[in-house]
Structure 1
Amino acid sequence: MSRFVILLAGPIAPTEALRRAVARCRVLAADRGMTHAEPLGLEPELWVGDFDSASAELAARHPAVPRAAFPRDKDMTDGEIAIEEALRRGATDLLLVGALGGPRTDHAFAHLVLALRYAEAGHRVALFDGREHAVPLRPGETRLATVPGAAFSILKFGDLEGLSIAGARWPLNDVALPFTSILTQSNEATGAEVTVTLRQGRAILIAQASAEKD
């Protein structure tokens, strides 16, 4: 199986949709991301990291999971190590769980950058925490399943050229947007799918998993 779930330390909502998404996948956990294994009914095949944020109590609950320990002083994040290990094990499709939100904004930002990096290397990458799901945008057409009324945004990582959005309350047609524009913030899906076409640039499409308003 080439679809791997990477459990990261950000918060999740263990919804039925998330459980379905991770079912029948191979699983690796990065440090405190192991806390999501039990709520999702998963048993990772490997647990990696420097274990600076994983408690002894968490380790005691998973004695059978093989561990690969790394020094705290290193030039890769625990999540990056887990992704690289998944690729070594044959992953072509990556689902990052616990990659969004949380107490460390820099961690969430790093996960978005990693998603773009591995998508540009030719791997399928998605992020899902039960509340929001996201996919990197690459040149060409990208489709994301939605529900009517769900909020979505396009997070830019540079200037965009040739951006079109369909299936949205506020569509766009072949526009150029500078990095500093927030025009793509807080749009709304009108149906079961949002379609984004991009000619050039780096961005992430992120959407609510439901139309519920906070």
Structure 2
Amino acid sequence: MTRFAILLGGDLTVTARLRGQIRGARVIAADSGMMHAAGLGVVPELWVGDFDSAGSELTMQYRDVPRDTFPAEKDVTDGAIAVAEAIRRGASEIVLLGGLGGQTDHTAGLLGQSLQIAREGVACLLSSGTEEAWPLIPGRMTVELPPGTRFSIIPFADLVGLDLTGVKWPLSGRSVPVGSTLTLSNLALGAVTVSLREGYGIAMAYPAMNLDD
């Protein structure tokens, strides 16, 4: 499995859990996402973007990192460019760091992009360090979570045949229409397994914070 971590420009809290999730990953920075490299203790193999928000200090600090520069006026985000490059380089798993919270339009767009990544057969995780999200498509996935973690599923289309185990309120073969709050604010007992027959959405969790010194 080839894991890539994509550094995005949103807020990021570095935790022991987050470090474990990107251990051994190859790294690509998208524009100002490079600001997270030092805190994570990584040096990206590539830096992409229009560099309108990277800052001269970062530019000097990481001047030896190869760059792909794009015009500021383009029809794709720097993060999407980084994801496409990771897939081109053989990614079988992508961890998007710094994309949750902040500007709602960018967050919603990134959640939609994660669904497209999953449909291409590439596993995907989004994390801010305190909040995590996974694209949910037909099939089965298991997520390791600390007991007591708040866990939610948000339908982006009507869900059919949803099974949910490893939580305080399990489900079996349920249909969950768009707009339903049935699957919000469950509690993980440990590893959570989700199976889905039809539909798509986003699974979200808020693991207990374990901040590094």
Bin the TM-score by the shorter chain.
over 0.9
Asked if 2 retains the 8 angstrom alpha-carbon contact of 1:149 and 1:211, the reply is no
Deviation at 1:149, TM superposition (A): 0.8
Match of 2:147 in 1: 148
- d(CA) in 1 for partners of 2:112 and 2:26? 23
Match of 1:176 in 2: 175
1:75 corresponds to which letter in structure 2?
Answer: D
Deviation at 1:5, TM superposition (A): 0.7
1:64 corresponds to which letter in structure 2?
Answer: D
Worse-matched range after superposition: 61-70 or 36-45: 61-70
Match of 1:200, SS?
A: coil
Match of 2:199 in 1: 201
1:168 corresponds to which letter in structure 2?
Answer: V
The C-alpha deviation readout for 1:10-31, integer Å capped at 9, x for no partner, is: 2111112212222221100001
Moved over 6 A (4+): none
Asked if 1 retains the 8 angstrom alpha-carbon contact of 2:155 and 2:176, the reply is no
Match of 2:125, SS?
A: strand
Change (3 A) 1:128 1:138: same
Question: Equivalent pairs: percent with the same residue?
Answer: 48
The C-alpha deviation readout for 1:178-211, integer Å capped at 9, x for no partner, is: 1111211111112x21111111011111111217
Give aligned pairs, total.
Answer: 210
Asked if 1 retains the 8 angstrom alpha-carbon contact of 2:9 and 2:30, the reply is yes
Match of 1:114 in 2: 113
Match of 2:49 in 1: 49
- d(CA) in 2 for partners of 1:162 and 1:89? 35
1:19 corresponds to which letter in structure 2?
Answer: R
Deviation at 1:132, TM superposition (A): 2.1
Match of 1:130 in 2: 129
The C-alpha deviation readout for 1:109-158, integer Å capped at 9, x for no partner, is: 11111110010111111122221222211212211111111101112211
Asked if 1 retains the 8 angstrom alpha-carbon contact of 2:130 and 2:209, the reply is no
Which TM-score applies when normalising by structure 1?
A: 0.93
Deviation at 1:2, TM superposition (A): 2.0
Change (3 A) 1:121 1:63: same
Asked if 1 retains the 8 angstrom alpha-carbon contact of 2:153 and 2:184, the reply is yes
Worse-matched range after superposition: 152-161 or 36-45: 152-161
Match of 2:167, SS?
A: coil
2:90 corresponds to which letter in structure 1?
Answer: G
Q: Cα RMSD between the aligned structures?
A: 1.5
Asked if 2 retains the 8 angstrom alpha-carbon contact of 1:150 and 1:211, the reply is no
Worse-matched range after superposition: 71-80 or 129-138: 129-138
Change (3 A) 1:194 1:49: same
Match of 1:159 in 2: 158
Match of 2:114, SS?
A: helix
Deviation at 1:6, TM superposition (A): 0.6
Asked if 2 retains the 8 angstrom alpha-carbon contact of 1:169 and 1:187, the reply is yes
Which TM-score applies when normalising by structure 2?
A: 0.93
1:180 corresponds to which letter in structure 2?
Answer: G
Asked if 2 retains the 8 angstrom alpha-carbon contact of 1:50 and 1:72, the reply is yes
Asked if 2 retains the 8 angstrom alpha-carbon contact of 1:31 and 1:47, the reply is yes
Aligned 1:95-106 pairs, distance under 5 A: 95-102=95-102, 104-106=103-105
